[in-house]
Structure 1
Amino acid sequence: MKKILLLHFSLFFLIANCQKKKQVMNIISTNNSENIEIKKDTMPDLDIASIKKLLDEEYNLIDANNAPPSPENTIKWINSEIYKSLLKNGYKSPSQQDFEAKIQTIFGVDTNGKLLCNRLKKEKGYILLYGEDPKKNYIYKEIPRAEFYPYQATGNIFLMMDNHFMSFIISPVRIVNFSKDSTHYKVKLPQYVISRNKYLFNDDKSQFAWLINNDEDFMQSLVTTFGYTEDKKLLKWAFEKQGFSNYQKYPPDNIMENYGKFLWTKQCNGEINLHPNTLYLIKELSEPSINKDKYLLNLAEYINYLVNNEKETELNLQQKAKIAAYLLAFGEQYKYNKEYGYNQMFLGKFIFYQDPDKKYKKEFEKNNYYNLPNLKKWYQQAEQEKDMFENDQTLADDPQPKDYVYRATYYKGPYSK
């Protein structure tokens, strides 16, 4: 156990030192600072003796055996300092209603429902979003209160439900600086604490540039982990960062898995939340004058990846069918658009090569084609066609999306617009 603690704290200090060089630090609190308006669950500034005692306790944890990551009074002090810092830096605490609406939109947390996910934990005064699934991460199994390790080691986010802000566990050792004569101290917090809160809960768009340049992983995780696609500027930045415009035939699974993170999110109750904003973005990026084929080719490749029985094991047939239906309905429109003329790239390929035993078709029918406009009509039309690659001796295997592009012509069907 002691070895685990030492290894964990060594990792924390290594990461913390690297981040210190990258992130701008703000002086936001001193032991003799002016009075500010605060709400409940905050602590007064500590005197010199108290802050030294707190730091001594934190240092002792490094060599302690079976000790908690941080004492409760330290956690309370950290949260209090973060909140007071936010107020000093212009943060406006949202109302309860606005805060709950924000965390539901951004993080998918419904405070009025049951929190059933492994990665969610509701406690008095806060909701914990685990950075990693505690059932999969060894640290949560072996060390008591391991969720209170510093943020750099866990990625845990604390949604503070009383004062309405987002908090993180930051070791006091990292943020307290004493004057030369040790009679005064200053508290410095990483800029990301201020910028994240103001950007997400105050709609302060001036924080965007700093965050995407200095807090890239967190900003991408808002989209790929939590499914936050309502911020169109953030979505476009995160999507274009992945290099999806660089199409390759037979793309690696990790690229396709990453592509899927922009298309859907699995909710706590197992429901699939699809992201139409991503499809709107793909449509925008696929205009003929910009980048006609590559994003749509990757979409077709993802459908191929999705319905492969050996892949996407996180999803069952019903969930896969719903995702596939939405993506097919979106992609099939390009068959009837004379700027593209993709012929059988989407539904044709799906019918002839991806659903040979018709199990997906049965799901579509059972769910009335998910009430998607045109999907049933387009599906029936595609069924009546002949496979354009039937008896084709030029292909080494089943036709791939790029093969359909080579034969693309505008297809005037009975349901074209």
Structure 2
Amino acid sequence: MRRNLLLALPLIIVSAGVGAAESSTELAQSVLPDVTKWRRDFHEHPELSNRETRTAKIVADELKKLGYSVQTGIAHTGVTGVLKGGKPGRKLAIRADMDALPVTEQVDLPFASKVKAQYAGREVGVMHACGHDSHTAMLLGLAEIFAKMKKDLPGEIMLVFQPAEEGAPPGEEGGASLMVKDGVFKDFKPDAVFGMHVVSSLNVGTVGVRPGGAMASSDAFHITVHGKQTHGAVPWAGIDPIVTASEIITAAQTIVSRQLDISKNPAVLTFGTFHGGTRFNIVPDTVELTGTIRTFDEGMRKQIMDSLRRTAEHVAAANGATIDAQIPSSESTNPVNYNDPASTARVRESLEKAVGKDKVIESPRWTASEDFPYFALGGKVPTVYFFVGATPTGQDAAAAPSNHSPKFFLDEGALPVGVSAMLQASLDFLSGT
């Protein structure tokens, strides 16, 4: 196990009448034992999307003990806690995601996950390979701090503990979109929503934020190629969907590289699965392809979808095959994770106060996606989402195992950084500074 790196962060006085001797750093350190305990517990007991019952119960119990008004069962296992401060101010929602991934952990930790579960009809290992355990723990730490300063706290806080950020299981709804559909903001109208995510691409102590499109939209697609079954010895007697599907994949590679103006915005078209056939000497009737489309521009998004459908149809026709295409499919669709520019500029100032100006960078656009943008309610509520470094100082973050890897490692020095950064940003926003 690698040793944790605890940072000596600058002592910056937070606003909102917290107390002249108390900084966001000191307050973060005061709850660090609890945050670390929660994080390790959640890490050792991960739960898949829409199955976060144990995590949700712990969260709800802790919030109730702290005096929050708690709602449970939102989007299956989601939890919210509302705290009204003793002074006038704005309303802010802060979101953390709770779900883990169907990944078997390969990190040597005393609290490594040994959990197994059923996923897509098979037994899988379960791991917090994306750091959601830390997000949940840090938000609980913030809940503790806000509760202690309640009489001096301006405005109101809603803490949103979200299930199924990684996507609901096949055939189910879940995640941020379902929380919104279930009325998460029905009785609490936030003036802004903040979120953060730990990332292996940054070292501990570094925080990244970007105005505008920070993370790409994502759309899953599903293409079924219909051929005609025949014996492998006489392929001319049938229509080969394997060859046809292979040609569709090859032809689709030019959609981004030759049909899109990628000098304006990056875009990605990736095939993730190819399923067809049951035996080496039988040409099957069908092949199923799935994949993902990532864009930052609505026009480019539509262009990729139209081009992919046209390419698949024409390649199939040239081979005598047909297709059924769901482009996009209903499995996973997330909007661009858009940071309101004016709010982001103010949050960046808060982050610089919390962790040091030289430790805050402008994040590059990331073609990963998030369902956090659903909390913006179609652009009606400004949102800001920033990144917290998770790779130990001194290690090459670019070479570190990425989020979603079975070797993903979170240095716990990230915990006080995340708590301090979000605390400063939240208090500055609530008090209008």
Task: Give the strand-richer structure, 1 or 2.
Answer: 2
**TM-score bracket relative to the smaller structure:** under 0.3
Task: Say which one has the larger Rg.
Answer: 1
